[in-house]
Structure 1
C-alpha cells in the first residue's frame, strides 16, 4: 500500500495566493457535497502552465514546489472550499439518472484578469457520485486532456483550460494496470446541461430555477437583453444563448476535424465550452463517418453526427427548462435557432478556410458557396485525404500564387475531379489576389493539431518518467498556425501504426 502524505503536514499556512469568491456554494447543499481530495502518493510535477497563470494574472508562485501537494490533492490551497457537484444526464441516448462529479473535485472560484474562474482537480479521488469508481484518472488520459484543452485554446475554440498536471507512481487498474495523475483544470464555470436536467427530472422546480438564475446572473448575463426578443421570458433567452453558443462551438469542431467521442448531455457545457476530453481525436484521413471512440460501437458520436447530436442534447436541455419557460411552443421556437444558426456558422467557418470573402446577402449565393464546400468534402472523403494536411497545403499554395496549386494534384488519384473542383474555386475567387487570401487562410487552417500519434508518443515517454515531450507539444500547440521552423515533423502525415491506436472511455 502506498504511504500517503499527511494532509495537515502539507497545509500551507500562508495567506492565499488567490482571491476566492465561491459563488457556487451560495446555491446550497442540494447542489453539491463538500469533501476533501484523496491524498496521492509521491506526486511530481509533469506540467505547469505558466502561460495560463500569466493570462489570468495569477502569481507564478501558485505552481511552485510549495504548492505541489495542493495540486496533487494532498493539501488545500488556503481559502479553497472543495466539493463535488451533482448532476444527471443522457448517456449514449439513454437517461442515466443521477451522475455527478465522480472524479473531479471543485476547489473553488477565484478572481482573475479574465473574470472569476473555477478550479477543479480531475482524478483527485472518489466522491459520492463516483458510482463504485475509484475517482482516479490515469496518466495516459490526463496527458491527453492537458494537451488537448490547451490545443483547442490555441486554435481559438472555447474550452476548459489546463493549469497543471501532476503524476504519481500510485497504481490504478483499468484494462491494464496504469499509474495515477491529477489535472487541474480551469473554466469560468463547469455547469453542464446535466446540472439542469438533474433538478428538472426530480420535479424540483425551485432548485431548477435557482440554478438557472445562478447561471444567468453570474455567467450568461446577456440573457436579460435577449429576453426582450422572447416576450420577456429570461429562461427562453437562456436556452437561446446556449443553443447559439453550442452551434458556434460545433461549427468550429467540424471545421478542424475534431471528434469529441462522448457527447452525452452531462458532457455539454452551458457556456459552450469544449469539456471532458476523453476519447477525442483530430481526424487524419477525412472520413465523415469516423468514430473516434472504440466504446461507441453504434457510431452515435461519429464526426458527421456531432451537429445532430448537439441538437438532440439541446432538446433534452429544453425539456429540462420547460417547467421554467412554461410554454412548449415558445421552447420549440427557440430550438429552431440551432437549425438555422449551425449551418450559417459552419458555412462561415468553411468559407474562411477557403479564403472566400464578402457578405453573402442572398440565399443563392450562400448555396453556391456551400455547394463548393460540400463537393470538396466529398472529394476529400472519397480518397481519405488527410484533413489538416490538405487545408494547410491549399493555404500555402494560395499564398504562393496559383501556379503552385498544381502540386496539390498529387493528393488525389482522381485528378480530373480535383481539377474540375479547382476550376470552380478559381472562378469563385475571381480577381482577388491569391497571396492575400492565402495569408488569411494560413491564419485559420492550422499546421499543427494534436494528432493521436503525437499524444501517444508523449504518453509513452511520460510513462517512462520523461515529461519533455508534453512540454514540446504544449508549446507547439499554443500557436498552431505558425510555421515553427525545425519542428516540421510534427506536421507530417501520421505513421502507419497510428491507425492501430484505439481510444475508449476508459480513463
Structure 2
C-alpha cells in the first residue's frame, strides 16, 4: 500500500497570515485538520495569480507545496476550519449545510490585499452530510479553469490558485480519482451564512456576522444617509446591487451558473461554486446546463429573477437586524433598477455603441430574438459582428443565420445606428473586439482537457488556462478552439455531482 506523504514541518509561504473569520468564535465554524491523500501530484498552477499574491510559483510546484495544498502537511500561519451555513436549494429550505468538503486555511496578507485561501476536496467535515468530503479531478479542473475564465472576462469571481490530484478513488456515478482545488477570495461568506443564524433565532451571532462583513467590505453602510442611517438596510442594498451587476455580466457573456442556491451566492457579489456551469453554444434562452435541474429552475433566462429571489431571502435573514420590513423591501428595490441598467450597458458595449439612444433596447432585443430563432452560436456571432464593425465584410455574420433576410434587415438598422457615433468606425470596432471574446470555456474544451488529464497529460489544462486569461486576443495557434462545437458536445451532461 502506498504511504501518504508526511512532513513534520509546516510549509512556509513567506507571507503573513491573519485569521479574522476564525476570530468570530466557534459558533461559526469547526476547527479541524485536512485529511491527507496518497502520492499527490500537480495538475495545474495559476502562475499569474501566484505572482499577484506574492507567492513563489516554484515553491507551490515543489513536492512540499503540492503536499501542503493537498492538505497533507500544514501551511505556516494557517488555521484550518470549516464554516457552518444553511440555505435554500432549488427553492426549498434545506436547513444546515456548511463546508462539507472545504477547509478555510486563513487570510493571507498579499500585495493584492487580504485574500482567504480554501482547500476544496480536503476531506470530511461535520457538515459533509454523509458525503466523502472529496472532490474529483473532473470538477476540480472545471472550477480551476472556469473561475479564471470569468476573471479573464472581467466578471467578479472567486479564483483558483492550483489543482492537485491523487489516484485515490472516489465514487460518483462511476469511480473517479481525487483532487483538491485551492480557491482564493477576499471572503467566502455566503447568503447562507446569514440564513443559518437567522433561521435558528441566533440574533447575536447574526449581528456579529453582519458587523464583521460590513466593517471589512461595506464600510460605507455605516455612514450613508440612506434608510435613516440603518447600516443593515444599506448593507442589503449594496449586496443587491453587486449581485445585480454580476448577473448582468453573466447574461451578457452567455454564462449559465447551473445551481444558484442561496448557499452558492457570495456576499461580495462574486461568482462562486463552479459546479454544472456552462457558456452557451447556440443561443437558447431557456437552456438548462445542469442535468440535475429537472424543473429548469436555473435556466439561463431565469437567472436574473432567481438572483433577485436569493437576495430577497438574504433580506428575510437580515430582517431581525433591519427591524422594519418596509425598509428591507426598499433596500431590495435597487436590484430592479441596477440589473436592467447594467444589462443595457453591457449589451450596448457588445454592439459597440458608446452612448445611449432611443431605440437601442429594441435593437438589442430584436437581434437576440433572431439569434434564438436560428439557434446561432452566441460567442461566434458577437465576435464576427465585431470584425464586421472593425471593417471586414458582413457575409461571415450573415452566414450564421438561416433567415438571412430578417438578419439583413436588422443589420441595416444596426449599421445606421453605428454610423451615428463619434470617433469613427474603426475605433468602435476595436472596442468591440476587446469586449466580445473570441474564446470562452466551452464544455467540449473542458471535456478534452479532462480526458487528457485522466491520462496524466495536463498540457491541455495549461493551454486552456492561457487562452481564458486573455480571451479577446487572437491566439492564432489555437484557432480551432474558437470554432463551432463538435456534434458530440451536445451530449455532454453536467450535474451537481462533483
SS at match of 2:481: helix
Match status 1:469 vs 2:463: no
Name the counterpart of 1:17.
14
**TM-score, L = length of structure 2:** 0.97
Q: 1:15 Cα shift?
A: 5.0
Give the match for residue 284 of structure 1: 281
Aligned equivalent of 2:34, options 29, 32, 37: 37
Answer yes or no: is the 8 Å Cα contact 2:53–2:112 preserved in 1: yes
Match among 333, 337, 340 for residue 337 of structure 2: 340
Contact 2:100 2:133 in 1 (8 A): yes
1:116 aligns with 2:107: no
Match of 1:151 in 2: 149
**Corresponding residue for residue 494 of structure 1:** 485
1:253-264 matches, within 5 Å, as 253-264=250-261
* 2:228 counterpart residue number: 231
- Spell out structure 1 runs of 4+ moving beyond 6 A: none
2:266 corresponding residue in structure 1: 269
2:364 paired with 1:373: yes
Deviation at 1:429, TM superposition (A): 1.7
Cα displacement string for residues 457-481 of structure 1 (whole angstroms, at most 9, x for unaligned residues): 0000000110110000001110000
Cα distance between partner residues in 1 of 2:58 and 2:408 = 57
Aligned equivalent of 2:185: 187
Residue 400 (1) aligns with residue 397 (2):
no
Contact 1:10 1:69 (8 Å CA) reproduced: no
> CA, structure 1 residues 15+40, in 2 after alignment: closer, same or farther (shift >3 Å)?
closer
Residues 1:296 and 2:293 are matched in the alignment: yes
Q: What corresponds to 2:352 in structure 1? A: 355
Q: Is the 8 A contact 2:17 2:78 kept in 1?
A: yes
1:222 is the counterpart of 2:211: no
Equivalent position to 2:69, from 62, 68, 71: 71
Residue aligning to 1:410 = 399
Residue pairs, 1:54-93, within 5 angstroms: 54-65=51-62, 66-93=64-91
Could you report, residue by residue, the CA deviation over 1:241-288 in whole angstroms, capped at 9, with x for unpaired residues?
100100110000001100000000000000010000000000000000
Aligned to 1:4: 4
Q: Secondary structure at the match of 1:487?
A: helix
1:250 is aligned to 247
Partner secondary structure for residue 160 of structure 2: strand
Deviations 1:29-55 (A, max 9, x none): 000000001100110011111110111
Q: 1:40-92, CA deviations, whole angstroms, 9 ceiling, x for partnerless residues?
A: 01100111111101112233344131221110110110111000000000000
CA contact (8 A) 2:384 2:396 kept: no
Identify the range of structure 1 (46-55 vs 61-70) with the bigger mean alpha-carbon deviation: 61-70
Q: C-alpha distance in 2, partners of 1:32/1:104?
A: 12
What does the per-residue CA deviation read over 1:94-124, in whole Å, with 9 as the maximum and x for residues that have no partner?
A: 0000000001111110101121000000000
Task: Show structure 1 runs of 5+ residues with no match.
Answer: none
Q: What is the alpha-carbon distance in structure 2 between the residues aligned to residue 58 and residue 221 of structure 1?
A: 29
| More displaced 10-residue stretch of structure 1: 420-429 or 163-172 | 420-429
Unmatched 5+ stretches in structure 2: none
Contact between 2:85 and 2:193, CA under 8 Å: does it hold in 1?
A: yes
CA RMSD of aligned residues (A): 1.2
Quick one: distance in 2 between partners of 1:63 and 1:75?
Answer: 13
Structure 2 contact 152–468 (Cα < 8 Å) conserved: yes
Answer yes or no: is the 8 Å Cα contact 2:12–2:75 preserved in 1.
Answer: no
